[in-house]
A = this chain, B = another copy of it.
Amino acid sequence: MIGRLNHVAIAVPDLAAATAQYAGTLGASVRPPQDEPDHGVTVVFIDLPNTKIELLYPLGENSPIQGFLDKNPSGGIHHICYEVDDILAARDRLQAAGARVLGSGEPKIGAHGKPVLFLHPKDFNGCLIELEQA
Protein backbone atom coordinates (compact mmCIF):
# COMPACT_ATOMS: atom_id res chain seq x y z
CA MET A 1 0.00 0.00 0.00
CA ILE A 2 2.54 2.64 0.96
CA GLY A 3 4.65 3.92 -1.89
CA ARG A 4 7.47 6.44 -1.98
CA LEU A 5 8.77 8.27 1.06
CA ASN A 6 7.54 11.72 0.06
CA HIS A 7 9.48 13.63 2.73
CA VAL A 8 10.98 13.74 6.20
CA ALA A 9 9.84 16.79 8.17
CA ILE A 10 12.21 18.37 10.67
CA ALA A 11 10.96 21.01 13.11
CA VAL A 12 13.65 23.64 13.64
CA PRO A 13 14.01 26.41 16.21
CA ASP A 14 15.80 28.81 13.82
CA LEU A 15 14.69 28.51 10.21
CA ALA A 16 17.33 30.85 8.78
CA ALA A 17 20.15 29.02 10.55
CA ALA A 18 18.85 25.58 9.55
CA THR A 19 18.39 26.70 5.94
CA ALA A 20 21.89 28.15 5.83
CA GLN A 21 23.31 24.94 7.30
CA TYR A 22 21.63 22.71 4.71
CA ALA A 23 22.51 25.02 1.82
CA GLY A 24 26.04 25.73 3.02
CA THR A 25 27.61 23.15 5.30
CA LEU A 26 25.60 20.21 3.96
CA GLY A 27 25.64 21.50 0.37
CA ALA A 28 22.03 20.64 -0.42
CA SER A 29 19.60 22.23 -2.85
CA VAL A 30 17.33 24.44 -0.76
CA ARG A 31 14.21 26.31 -1.95
CA PRO A 32 13.01 29.68 -0.60
CA PRO A 33 10.83 29.65 2.54
CA GLN A 34 7.10 29.31 1.94
CA ASP A 35 4.42 30.41 4.42
CA GLU A 36 1.57 27.96 4.86
CA PRO A 37 -0.90 29.91 7.01
CA ASP A 38 -3.53 27.17 6.73
CA HIS A 39 -1.08 24.76 8.38
CA GLY A 40 0.53 27.17 10.83
CA VAL A 41 4.02 26.62 9.47
CA THR A 42 6.67 28.18 7.33
CA VAL A 43 8.29 25.46 5.23
CA VAL A 44 11.65 25.20 3.51
CA PHE A 45 11.92 22.32 1.06
CA ILE A 46 15.28 20.68 0.54
CA ASP A 47 15.51 18.62 -2.63
CA LEU A 48 17.56 15.46 -2.33
CA PRO A 49 18.01 13.26 -5.41
CA ASN A 50 15.38 10.76 -4.24
CA THR A 51 13.11 12.57 -1.76
CA LYS A 52 12.66 15.83 0.13
CA ILE A 53 13.40 17.20 3.57
CA GLU A 54 10.91 19.74 4.90
CA LEU A 55 12.13 22.17 7.51
CA LEU A 56 9.16 23.33 9.59
CA TYR A 57 8.99 26.52 11.62
CA PRO A 58 5.93 27.81 13.52
CA LEU A 59 3.76 30.44 11.81
CA GLY A 60 1.07 32.27 13.77
CA GLU A 61 -0.29 31.71 17.23
CA ASN A 62 -1.62 28.16 17.08
CA SER A 63 1.05 26.41 15.12
CA PRO A 64 0.77 22.63 15.41
CA ILE A 65 4.54 22.37 15.81
CA GLN A 66 4.96 24.88 18.65
CA GLY A 67 4.31 22.21 21.29
CA PHE A 68 6.85 19.93 19.67
CA LEU A 69 9.49 22.67 19.77
CA ASP A 70 8.61 23.48 23.39
CA LYS A 71 9.37 19.85 24.24
CA ASN A 72 12.35 19.65 21.88
CA PRO A 73 14.04 23.05 21.95
CA SER A 74 16.86 21.95 19.62
CA GLY A 75 14.28 20.73 17.09
CA GLY A 76 13.84 17.20 15.85
CA ILE A 77 12.26 14.92 13.30
CA HIS A 78 8.56 15.73 13.42
CA HIS A 79 7.04 13.28 10.95
CA ILE A 80 7.60 11.17 7.87
CA CYS A 81 5.28 11.11 4.87
CA TYR A 82 4.44 8.05 2.80
CA GLU A 83 2.64 8.32 -0.52
CA VAL A 84 -0.48 6.28 -1.21
CA ASP A 85 -2.50 5.94 -4.39
CA ASP A 86 -5.91 6.29 -2.79
CA ILE A 87 -6.09 8.03 0.55
CA LEU A 88 -9.65 6.99 1.38
CA ALA A 89 -8.90 3.34 0.68
CA ALA A 90 -5.74 3.65 2.79
CA ARG A 91 -7.68 5.20 5.66
CA ASP A 92 -10.32 2.51 5.57
CA ARG A 93 -7.72 -0.25 5.52
CA LEU A 94 -5.85 1.29 8.46
CA GLN A 95 -8.97 1.86 10.51
CA ALA A 96 -10.11 -1.70 9.82
CA ALA A 97 -6.76 -2.83 11.27
CA GLY A 98 -7.45 -0.80 14.42
CA ALA A 99 -5.08 2.12 13.70
CA ARG A 100 -6.16 5.60 14.67
CA VAL A 101 -6.32 8.43 12.15
CA LEU A 102 -5.89 11.89 13.70
CA GLY A 103 -8.59 14.56 13.54
CA SER A 104 -11.93 13.96 11.88
CA GLY A 105 -10.63 11.18 9.66
CA GLU A 106 -11.41 13.24 6.57
CA PRO A 107 -8.35 14.12 4.44
CA LYS A 108 -7.21 17.74 4.39
CA ILE A 109 -5.33 19.47 1.64
CA GLY A 110 -1.67 19.43 2.64
CA ALA A 111 1.26 21.73 1.96
CA HIS A 112 1.69 20.23 -1.52
CA GLY A 113 -1.95 20.79 -2.49
CA LYS A 114 -2.80 17.10 -2.17
CA PRO A 115 -5.06 15.21 0.27
CA VAL A 116 -3.29 14.14 3.45
CA LEU A 117 -4.04 12.35 6.71
CA PHE A 118 -1.97 11.87 9.85
CA LEU A 119 -1.82 8.61 11.80
CA HIS A 120 -1.55 8.29 15.57
CA PRO A 121 2.11 7.92 16.62
CA LYS A 122 1.24 5.46 19.39
CA ASP A 123 -0.12 3.07 16.78
CA PHE A 124 3.02 3.35 14.61
CA ASN A 125 6.12 2.85 16.77
CA GLY A 126 6.10 6.38 18.14
CA CYS A 127 6.32 7.91 14.63
CA LEU A 128 3.93 10.53 13.39
CA ILE A 129 3.10 9.33 9.87
CA GLU A 130 1.54 11.51 7.21
CA LEU A 131 -0.11 9.82 4.24
CA GLU A 132 -0.29 11.85 1.04
CA GLN A 133 -2.28 10.87 -2.01
CA ALA A 134 0.37 10.91 -4.72
Contact = CB atoms under 8 A, between A and B. Distances in A.
A23 B18 CA distance: 35
- Majority secondary structure of chain A interface residues (helix, strand, loop or mixed): loop
Interface string A93-122: 110010100000000000000000000011
For this chain, the copies found in one complex come to: 2
A75 interface: yes
A72 interface: yes
B121 A74 contact: yes
Interface residues of A, number: 40
B26 A1 contact: yes
B76 A125 contact: yes
A8 interface: yes
Considering residues A10, A25, A82, which has the most beta carbons from chain B within 10 angstroms of its beta carbon?
A25
22 contacts: A1-B26, A4-B48, A4-B49, A5-B8, A11-B126, A12-B125, A21-B124, A25-B97, A26-B82, A27-B93, A50-B50, A50-B51, A55-B125, A72-B126, A74-B121, A74-B122, A74-B126, A76-B125, A76-B126, A77-B77, A77-B126, A77-B127
